[in-house]
């Protein structure tokens, strides 16, 4: 792996970012400590200088000035390797006493280097520095200063401490960074491997769940749900292709036979009858494809833009009014029972919702014998509204109840009736679009379709 490839890897960049943040935090903390400690020591030195200069200036006066000169001279001679500098001059700047001469005049604090001064006793280092200040007196001026060796030593100690600290933290920091990078890479690989398998056609591959219940696990669950939807979609497409080929083979063969019979026939009426029958077969095939396209459009979710708040109670009453006559003509009876006292508001497309319940009612009418009683019932369960469409006709075997929602799937006993096998597929697509659920149960006797809608 090249350096450029390494820089592109997210785990390496995370580890580098973590290390940089850690080092930056240490440096920032050290800088604060360094500045505060330096300022504190400088303040202590100034306090010592001011205390000394105040004690000497106590002798300042017309009669006691000579005593001050003698005291400064005595102090200068007693210091063998001075950490204090003292200079006393008269009003004209002439040297009177002290262990340093010729210091420039200033009204502020000064930082003086040993190499730039003339000291009577000089046993220190040339780069030693002194913090000093002049004090005006009655007959002259007094300079007092203290060396900054404490500040120098403290700075050297802190810099060594920083160096040793960074060296001591380097190994744990590298280990932590490597650990986090490895863990991040493992989590990324856990996503990459299944997705690579899916791209190669193994649609059953899934992202493993670590069990930590963290945000990455939540993303993994979402990815797995997406892969599950993709698998179902591929299976539906494959199954639909097979069902389309199977179901259209018979009408296309019948269409070809009728056209061949028409070509061989000589009677005009038989020819017209054959053409009419062929046109009917073509219309049936066209209706099948139209229904398939409608289901595909619904599954794509484009109709969600037309969602409004719909009252299921009123919508079901309208469906009953429309299909009551249809059921009566078929020799059946359609009932509507509302067990909810108020409005049952849901978000949805009114046209598709009518199509949903109309298909369920038509399915009962088409596949049940005369005299069947069909009942639509609305009630609430928890935070959902439930609509049951039940009949007293023949039920569907339990192992077939999932299959009937497949496109073009038809029960053996239903193949003798008209229809394309797409009615319940359209129902399933509409239910999915509205984030609802549908299940089929035995009505004892008959079949009961239960549709649950989340309340608006």
Give the model confidence (pLDDT) of 359-413 as tens digits. Answer: 899 988 988 888 899 999 999 988 899 999 999 888 888 877 777 777 666 665 4
Single pTM value for the model: 0.49
pLDDT for the residue numbered 411: 60
For residue 13, which phi and psi values (nearest 5 degrees)? -65, -35
Q: For residue 260, is pLDDT > 90? A: no
CATH code (residue 393): 3.30.565.10
Which of 233, 267, 299 marks a domain boundary? 299
Domain match, 316 and 288 both: no
Handedness of CA 85, 49, 106, 149 (dihedral sign): positive
Domain match, 356 and 241 both: no
Residues 159-163, mean pLDDT to the nearest whole number: 86
Distance separating alpha carbons of residues 422 and 430, to the nearest angstrom: 12
Residues 129-151, mean pLDDT to the nearest whole number: 89
Which of 95, 121, 147 marks a domain boundary? 147
Q: For residue 433, is pLDDT > 60? A: yes
Given the structure tokens 């001591």, which residue do they identify? 168
Q: Is residue 200 domain-resident? A: no
Distance separating alpha carbons of residues 96 and 118, to the nearest angstrom: 15
Domain match, 125 and 248 both: no
Q: For residue 100, is pLDDT > 80? A: yes
Q: For residue 46, is pLDDT > 70? A: yes
Domain match, 247 and 309 both: no
Domain match, 308 and 410 both: yes
pLDDT for the residue numbered 413: 47
pLDDT for the residue numbered 320: 92
pLDDT for the residue numbered 390: 92
Distance separating alpha carbons of residues 442 and 374, to the nearest angstrom: 14
**Beta carbons of 326 and 372 less than 8 angstroms apart:** no
Least confident of 104-113, 264-273, 372-381: 264-273
Which of 299, 321, 350 marks a domain boundary? 299
Q: For residue 415, is pLDDT > 50? A: no
Domain match, 262 and 312 both: no
Domain match, 294 and 380 both: no
Q: Is residue 102 domain-resident? A: yes
Domain match, 433 and 367 both: yes
Residue 451 banded pLDDT, cuts 50, 70, 90: very high
Q: Which of 392, 387, 328, 335 is nearest to 356 (CA)?
A: 387
Q: Is residue 381 domain-resident? A: yes
Distance separating alpha carbons of residues 129 and 350, to the nearest angstrom: 90
Q: For residue 345, is pLDDT > 80? A: yes
Q: Is residue 224 domain-resident? A: yes
Q: Is residue 318 domain-resident? A: yes
Q: Which of 425, 408, 310 is nearest to 360 (CA)?
A: 425
Given the structure tokens 């820089």, which residue do they identify? 7
pLDDT higher at 249 or 364: 364
Listed in sequence order, the residues at least 6 apart from 427 whose beta carbon sits closer than 8 Å to its beta carbon are 356, 359, 360, 405, 438, 449
Write out the DSSP string of 323-349: HHHHHHHTT-EEEEEE--SS--EEEE-
| Residue 196 Cα distances to 186, 340, 453, angstroms | 15, 51, 37
Given the structure tokens 């019932």, which residue do they identify? 377
Q: Is residue 260 domain-resident? A: yes
Bond before 445 cis per omega within 30 degrees: yes
pLDDT for the residue numbered 300: 66
Q: Is residue 137 domain-resident? A: yes
Distance separating alpha carbons of residues 175 and 168, to the nearest angstrom: 12
| Residue 37 Cα distances to 33, 43, 84, 317, 388, angstroms | 6, 10, 22, 85, 80
Question: Helix H segments across 92-204?
Answer: 149-199
Q: Dig out the tokens for 420 from the structure.
A: 């394309």
Domain match, 285 and 307 both: no
Q: What percent of the chain has pLDDT over 70?
A: 84
Domain match, 292 and 334 both: no
Distance separating alpha carbons of residues 29 and 23, to the nearest angstrom: 10
pLDDT higher at 81 or 447: 447
Domain match, 316 and 439 both: yes
pLDDT for the residue numbered 376: 93
Residue 191 banded pLDDT, cuts 50, 70, 90: confident
Q: For residue 38, is pLDDT > 60? A: yes
Domain match, 310 and 267 both: no
pLDDT digits over 111-139, tens only?
888 877 777 666 667 778 889 999 999 88
Residue 416 banded pLDDT, cuts 50, 70, 90: very low
Least confident of 21-25, 93-97, 261-265, 377-381: 261-265
Q: For residue 182, is pLDDT > 90? A: no
pLDDT higher at 302 or 137: 137
Q: Dig out the tokens for 411 from the structure.
A: 């029960």
Q: What percent of the chain has pLDDT over 90?
A: 16
pLDDT for the residue numbered 73: 84
H or E element in which residue 89 lies: strand 84-90
pLDDT higher at 7 or 382: 382
Tally the domains of the chain.
Answer: 3
Q: Which residues pair with 386 in a beta bridge?
A: 379, 452
pLDDT higher at 362 or 230: 362
Distance separating alpha carbons of residues 280 and 130, to the nearest angstrom: 113
Residues 70-74, mean pLDDT to the nearest whole number: 86
**Beta carbons of 134 and 49 less than 8 angstroms apart:** no
Q: Is residue 393 domain-resident? A: yes
pLDDT for the residue numbered 410: 62
What is residue 101's DSSP assignment?
E
Distance separating alpha carbons of residues 79 and 86, to the nearest angstrom: 11
Mean residue pLDDT across the chain: 81
Distance separating alpha carbons of residues 338 and 317, to the nearest angstrom: 9
From its phi and psi, is residue 435 left (phi > 0), alpha (psi between -120 and 50) or beta?
left
Given the structure tokens 């989590």, which residue do they identify? 187
**Beta carbons of 31 and 201 less than 8 angstroms apart:** no
pLDDT higher at 412 or 276: 276
Domain carrying residue 353? 302-454
pLDDT higher at 437 or 165: 437
């Amino acid at each position: 792996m090249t350096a450029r490839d390494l820089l592109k890897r997210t785990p390496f960049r995370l580890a580098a970012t973590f290390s940089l943040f850690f080092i930056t935090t240490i440096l920032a903390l050290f800088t604060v400590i360094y500045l505060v400690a330096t300022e504190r020591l400088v303040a202590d030195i100034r306090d010592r200088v001011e205390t000394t200069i105040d004690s000497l200036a106590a002798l300042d006066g017309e009669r006691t000035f000579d005593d001050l000169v003698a005291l400064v001279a005595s102090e200068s001679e007693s210091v063998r390797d001075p950490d204090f500098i003292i200079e006393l001059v008269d009003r004209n700047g002439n040297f009177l006493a002290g262990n340093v001469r010729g210091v420039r005049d200033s009204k502020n604090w000064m930082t003086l280097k040993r190499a730039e001064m003339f000291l009577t006793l000089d046993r220190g280092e040339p780069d030693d520095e002194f913090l000093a200040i002049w004090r005006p007196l009655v007959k002259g001026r007094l300079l007092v200063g203290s060396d900054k060796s404490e500040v120098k030593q403290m700075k050297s100690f802190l810099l060594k401490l920083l160096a040793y600290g960074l060296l001591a933290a380097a190994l744990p920091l590298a280990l932590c960074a490597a650990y986090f990078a490895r863990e991040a890479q493992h989590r990324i690989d856990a996503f990459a491997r299944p997705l690579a398998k899916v791209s190669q056609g193994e649609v059953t591959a899934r992202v493993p769940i670590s069990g930590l219940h963290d945000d990455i696990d939540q993303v993994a669950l979402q990815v797995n749900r997406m892969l599950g939807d993709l698998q179902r979609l591929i299976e539906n497409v494959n199954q639909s292709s097979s069902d389309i080929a199977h179901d259209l083979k018979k009408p296309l063969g019948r269409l070809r036979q009728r056209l061949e019979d028409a070509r061989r026939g000589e009677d005009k009426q038989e020819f017209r009858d054959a053409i009419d029958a062929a046109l009917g077969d073509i219309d049936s095939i066209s209706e099948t494809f139209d229904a398939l396209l409608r289901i595909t459009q619904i599954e794509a979710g484009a109709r969600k833009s037309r969602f409004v708040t719909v009252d299921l109670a009123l919508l079901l009453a309208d469906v009953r009014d429309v299909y009551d006559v249809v059921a009566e003509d078929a020799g059946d009876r359609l009932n509507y029972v509302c067990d909810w006292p108020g409005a049952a508001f849901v978000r949805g497309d009114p046209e598709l919702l009518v199509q949903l319940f109309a298909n369920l009612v038509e399915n009962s009418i088409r596949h049940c014998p005369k005299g069947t009683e069909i009942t639509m019932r609305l009630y609430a369960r928890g935070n959902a509204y439930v609509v049951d469409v039940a009949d007293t006709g023949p039920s569907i075997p339990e192992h077939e109840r999932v299959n009937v929602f497949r496109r073009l799937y038809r029960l053996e006993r239903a193949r003798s009736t008209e229809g394309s096998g797409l009615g319940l597929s359209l129902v399933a697509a509409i239910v999915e679009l509205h984030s609802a659920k549908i299940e089929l149960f035995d009505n004892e006797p008959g079949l009961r379709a239960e549709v649950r809608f989340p309340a608006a």
